[in-house]
Structure 1
Amino acid sequence: MAMNSQSLSKAQVLIVGCGDIGQRLAQCLPQDIYEVTGLRRNPPPDTPSLHYQTCDVTNAVALSDVLRQGFDVVLITMTPSERSDAGYERAYVQTCRNLVVGLQKQREKSPLLVFVSSSAVYSQMDGSWVDENSPVEPESFSGKRLLEAEAIVQNSGFANTIVRFSGIYGPNRNRLIEQVHQGKASASTHYTNRIHVDDCARSLAHLIELYRNGKKLEPVYLASDSAPAPMVEVVSWLAEQVGVQDFLSEAATNERGNKRCNNKRLLDSGFKFRYPGYRDGYSAVLAEL
């Protein structure tokens, strides 16, 4: 156990690739217990809950210098600069490789590694339920690279856990709402799985707190809300909420895959969703538009 809740010093958390989810996570962690550092190539100004450092995390030397400061938790939440195999390799595989090598060079602390992955590692297309023990045989380059990065973290020798998020939505993630307004929504009956960005951050904070309090984390958590639903059901409900009648397009394609994500392991850990279904989450999003 790396963190001592009775310690007078704050637990040091490093967020590698600190974007929207990282910023929300920092706000979820109690400031009297945690001190959070975010790494960005071009960081914004600091906030009360988050101090930034400038770092290109694909640069092994630069990342290694940061890691010498010593951290109790290292969270990896990257966004590829481009949606290509090379982009995913740089963002996920290269970053995780550099991170593990850098951590192995410093011996001050042995941190918990938390890697933010995706349900894209599952390729099931038959509407079946998937969980943390389901086969992962991704066909897309994105799923393959994420799985490769997961393995680097899992074989690092450090305490670790993988969190696989399904489709993230929330403020500034309004693709489905825009498709409805533009008459470009899909009538597909394939299942879609979602999680509100606030619950992404809250679930990560929940797992970090469990670890700080001496609980053993599972190797993998599938983080998705409790209401997988056919795409046509989701967009039909959205259209009703915003008062749009002609919202479907024959040319529209569904999201990749057709599966239902089982979140039982995360729920069994004590986590409670703020938005347990898409109606709850999208209602909050629409109220803010």
Structure 2
Amino acid sequence: MIEDAKVNSQKLLIVGCGDLGRRLAERMAPLGYRVTGLRRQPPADTGSLHYQAVDTADAAAFERVLAEDFDVIVVTMTPSERGDEGYRRAYVQTCEHLMAGLNATGASPRLILYVSSTGVYGQSDGEWVDEYSPTQPNRASGERLLEAEQIIARSGFEHCVVRFSGIYGPGRDRMQTLVRQGRATLSGRYTNRIHADDCAGVMAHLIERHRQGRPIESLYLASDDEPAPMAEVVNWLAMQMKVDQARFAPDDGGLGKRCDNRRLRASGYEFRYPSYREGYEALLR
């Protein structure tokens, strides 16, 4: 395995390298990838990840990094501010500067993987959505993510867009906090989730599948196996946390949507946490 990793050594750039980027680096470094993470204010390097302090809004600085000619580029941006302009800078401008930098330097990554969101869908009547479903975002963030996806899709580079549903995991404990404080609501609205470890697992799976010469699609919807009504999740968490369920108020929040992950499953990915129960059990332990 070690010898194979040396032979297959590749350079991986993670643009906007936050929590998901760190988790991905931890998976890829043992496979022989040399991983560089870009952040405006990076923390100290780790054994699996070397950071560079770069703001993607600085096109010249971004271009200098891209001149290093990476084999794989993963874009996983978090806006520095809410609102349409913040979303435009994080999602759209980053992709515009990425393409301009690649074209200016002549760099040619074998794969660009763009992290998007199921927020690009606007369905709200309990429908199932998949990669073929129409995208009609009802929020500015979804509109800008969709615009960024289109820049990637039109780039001419080999690419893959992954639309993650609601990400939870260590440090992403809003739902547990709401239940603990008695502020969660019993809504029939479907919720779709994916654990942060599975986010990293999905990206690593697709990157390696592509390196091995096996086909991947240009678009995947990544969510666990079990969309569930919010009321079900809240009641289950309350029982695990020994919180009085009578504290929660009913809420008519619509039906939402249900995310279909069959294309991702068909690619061979196996979820570490196939439903909210396994994922939250691990967190509560």
Structures share a fold, TM > 0.5? yes
Cα gap change, 1:45/1:6 in structure 2, threshold over 3 Å: closer, same or farther?
Answer: closer
2:249 matched to 1:249?
A: yes
| Superposed CA offset, 1:218-238 (max 9, x none) | 111000000100000001000
Partner of 1:273: 271
Partner of 1:160: 159
* Structure 1 residue 102 displacement after superposition: 0.4
| Correspondence for 2:259 among 247, 258, 261 | 261
TM-score by length of structure 2 reads 0.95
- Mapped contact 1:181–1:247 kept (Cα < 8 A): no
- Mapped contact 1:124–1:257 kept (Cα < 8 A): no
| Superposed CA offset, 1:268-289 (max 9, x none) | 00000000000000000111xx
Partner of 1:60: 59
Partner of 1:145: 144
Partner of 1:50: 49
Q: CA separation in 1, counterparts of 2:69 and 2:79?
A: 26
| Superposed CA offset, 1:165-205 (max 9, x none) | 00000001010110001111011101000000000001000
Cα gap change, 1:96/1:123 in structure 2, threshold over 3 Å: closer, same or farther?
Answer: same
* Structure 1 residue 57 displacement after superposition: 1.0
Partner of 1:29: 28
* Structure 1 residue 217 displacement after superposition: 1.6
Secondary structure (helix, strand or coil) at the match of 2:57 reads coil
Partner of 1:191: 190
* Structure 1 residue 143 displacement after superposition: 0.7
TM-score by length of structure 1 reads 0.93
Q: CA separation in 2, counterparts of 1:181 and 1:66?
A: 45
Q: CA separation in 2, counterparts of 1:100 and 1:184?
A: 44
User: Identity over aligned residues, as a percent?
Assistant: 54
Cα gap change, 1:32/1:134 in structure 2, threshold over 3 Å: closer, same or farther?
Answer: closer
- Mapped contact 1:15–1:77 kept (Cα < 8 A): yes
CA-based RMSD of the aligned residues comes to 1.6
Partner of 1:116: 115
* Structure 2 residue ranges without an equivalent (≥5): none
* Structure 1 residue ranges without an equivalent (≥5): none
Q: CA separation in 1, counterparts of 2:153 and 2:66?
A: 19
Aligned length: 281
2:259 matched to 1:233?
A: no
